[in-house]
Amino acid sequence: MTDPADDLVTITIACQLIGGKETPITPSTLYKGVKTGRFPAPIKIGPGTSRWRRSEILAMLDKAAADREVAA
pLDDT tens by residue, the chain, 72 residues:
466 768 999 999 999 999 999 999 999 999 999 999 999 999 999 999 999 999 999 999 999 999 987 766
Q: Give the per-residue pLDDT at 5.
A: 66
Instruction: State the number of CA atoms in the 13 A half-sphere of 37 facing the CB.
Output: 0
pTM for the model stands at: 0.86
* Residue 44 · residue 50 · CB < 8 Å: yes
Domains of the chain: 4-71 (1.10.1660)
Q: Give the per-residue pLDDT at 1.
A: 46
Residue among 26, 7, 8 nearest 16 (CA): 26
Q: Give the per-residue pLDDT at 29.
A: 98
